[in-house]
């Protein structure tokens, strides 16, 4: 048995890989044919691989197929119930990461595109580029608890240019019954689906795109869930019997109303800000609404505003810790993008791709190695209430120096290299090389023909 300095061995990695087979078992009843289910398993394994571009060709090659046709059939024509696969995925995450203090976190992500055929692609704001660009946008819902974080639901945002064009929808495989919905409306649907499905959650977190929607906030309040939702500076709130802008409410505070707290650890240590809150009108007995403001210590003009709904008497430090937990979904999105470069190419693919990420999170976090467990306990016991005068202590495992917890990316790499990687046959390597060049030659010829420039025999390969 090979063991590293932290005591992690190849037997641990093989045990994690076996744990991932639970996903295969959970989703198997929702595929019409056994071969489609087997292909889906190969697809998920291939997503874990370190291959650079995870398109149909390369995923098929890394899975050991001789051609990409089987993988392309899975993604485009195979029959399987994407909604039931999604529900099975959520059940898997809850089984491994579920906790009473769990959090549901809403966010969106975008994928720049150059064409016009991918479902939902349109010139719109692209968060990945920070400007308006041709892209797809998806709304994602993540579940976070002390054990870890994983995405559990998703929906593709369809601009009106798509919902109003029935022919374009038909070509992309989008049912005519799917109506136009704003991003907050989509977010509310994801939250309702998770909460009505029994997902154990105490908090709901989101940025100002979703926090500014009254119906989304009402949906959460009706279910008596706490929330910390970002809002814009011009958001109007009720203070007593008067409506005021939230930035005006905060501007009237005294210097003594601000408290310096940490909202959790970041990559460079505690994330310390100044915080202040103002009570708002709340019609729900036993619950309070607050306007919360976060102010940068280094740049006091840098302000962020939140609306809060919590049980009466909830300490500010607890609210601040919840507000600082929204970064979990950003980390989950970054990890998921690293495993699949185009998860929104079709509605069906969007339902299957995220399964690779929570599978790894479950293996990494619910079956913790003792080193991870000790680091986790030390971190939680290290005083993250966050007063700036509290020293930040770097946890260290006895005898092995300083280590961070095993990350999802590290687990993914270990599982692939130790368990799933297969050395391809030389004939298969050259077979794929021939297939790619033949396909590219046909594609090149077709492009020239469409442009009215036929290739001469001397130019063709």
361-378 confidence digits (pLDDT tens): 444 443 344 434 433 444
**pLDDT value of position 189:** 96
How far CA 261 is from CA of 89, 203, 382, 400, in Å, comes to 36, 19, 14, 32
- Cβ contact 295:312 at 8 Å: no
> Which pair of tokens denotes residue 391?
């020293």
Give the pLDDT mean for 312-335.
90
CATH of domain 83-415: 3.90.350.10
Task: Give me the residue label for tokens 């008596």.
Answer: 224
Which of 437, 204, 152 is closest to 310 using CA atoms?
Answer: 204
Flag whether pLDDT at 265 surpasses 50.
Answer: yes
**pLDDT value of position 453:** 57
Task: Give me the residue label for tokens 């997503």.
Answer: 47
Q: How confident is the model at residue 6 (pLDDT cuts 50, 70, 90)?
A: low
Q: Which of 27-31, 133-137, 147-151, 382-386 has the lowest average pLDDT?
A: 382-386
**pLDDT value of position 401:** 52
- Cβ contact 122:139 at 8 Å: no
Query: Percentage helix, strand, coil, to 5, in the chain?
Result: 45, 20, 35
CB burial string 277-286: b at 16+ within 10 A, e below: bbebebeeee
Task: Return the bridge partners of 304, or none.
Answer: 294
What confidence tens digit (pLDDT) does each residue in 278-290 have? 999 988 999 999 9
Q: What is the mean pLDDT of the chain?
A: 81
What is the H or E stretch that residue 125 is in? strand 122-126
- Cβ contact 263:321 at 8 Å: yes
Flag whether pLDDT at 89 surpasses 70.
Answer: yes
Domain coordinates in residue numbering, the chain: 83-415, 425-461
Flag whether pLDDT at 56 surpasses 50.
Answer: yes
Flag whether pLDDT at 197 surpasses 50.
Answer: yes
Q: How confident is the model at residue 400 (pLDDT cuts 50, 70, 90)?
A: very low
């Amino acid at each position: 048995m090979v063991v590293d300095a932290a005591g992690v061995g190849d037997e641990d990695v093989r045990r994690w890989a076996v744990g991932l087979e639970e996903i295969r078992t959970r989703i198997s009843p929702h595929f019409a044919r056994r071969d489609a289910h087997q292909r889906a398993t190969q697809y998920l394994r291939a997503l874990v691989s370190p291959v650079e571009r995870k398109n149909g060709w390369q995923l098929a090659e890394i899975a050991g197929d001789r051609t990409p046709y089987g993988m392309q059939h899975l993604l485009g024509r195979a029959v399987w119930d994407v909604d039931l696969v999604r529900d099975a995925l959520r059940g898997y995450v809850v089984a491994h990461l579920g906790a009473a203090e769990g959090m549901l976190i809403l966010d969106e992500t975008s994928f720049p595109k150059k064409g016009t055929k991918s479902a939902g692609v349109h010139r719109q704001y692209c968060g990945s580029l920070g400007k308006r660009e041709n892209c797809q946008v998806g709304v994602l819902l993540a579940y976070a608890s002390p054990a870890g974080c994983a995405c559990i639901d998703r929906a593709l945002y369809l601009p009106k240019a798509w919902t109003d064009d029935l022919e374009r929808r038909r070509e992309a495989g989008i049912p005519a019954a799917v109506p136009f919905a704003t991003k907050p409306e989509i977010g509310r649907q994801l939250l309702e689906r998770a909460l009505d499905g029994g997902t154990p959650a105490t908090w709901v977190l989101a940025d100002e795109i979703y926090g500014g929607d009254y119906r989304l906030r009402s949906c959460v309040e009706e279910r008596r869930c706490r929330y910390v939702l970002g809002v814009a500076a011009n958001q109007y709130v009720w203070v007593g019997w008067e409506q005021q802008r939230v930035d005006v409410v905060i501007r009237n505070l005294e210097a003594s109303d601000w408290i310096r707290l940490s909202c959790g650890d970041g990559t460079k240590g505690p994330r310390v800000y100044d915080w202040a809150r103002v009570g708002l009108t709340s019609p729900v007995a036993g619950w309070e609404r607050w306007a919360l403001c976060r102010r940068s210590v280094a740049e006091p003009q840098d302000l962020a505003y939140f609306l809060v709904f919590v049980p009466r008497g909830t300490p500010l430090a607890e609210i601040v810790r919840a507000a600082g937990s929204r970064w979990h979904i950003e980390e989950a999105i970054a990890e998921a993008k690293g495993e699949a470069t185009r998860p929104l190419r079709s509605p069906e693919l969007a339902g299957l791709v995220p399964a690779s990420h929570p599978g790894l999170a479950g293996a990494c976090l619910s079956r913790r190695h003792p080193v991870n467990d000790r680091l986790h306990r030390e971190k939680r016991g290290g005083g993250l209430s966050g007063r700036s005068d509290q020293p930040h202590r770097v946890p260290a495992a006895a005898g092995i120096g300083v280590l961070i917890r095993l990350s999802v990316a590290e687990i993914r790499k270990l599982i692939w290299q130790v368990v799933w990687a297969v050395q391809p046959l030389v004939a298969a390597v050259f077979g794929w090389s021939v297939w790619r060049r033949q396909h590219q030659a046909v594609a090149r010829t077709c492009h020239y023909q469409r442009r009215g420039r036929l290739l001469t025999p001397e130019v063709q390969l």
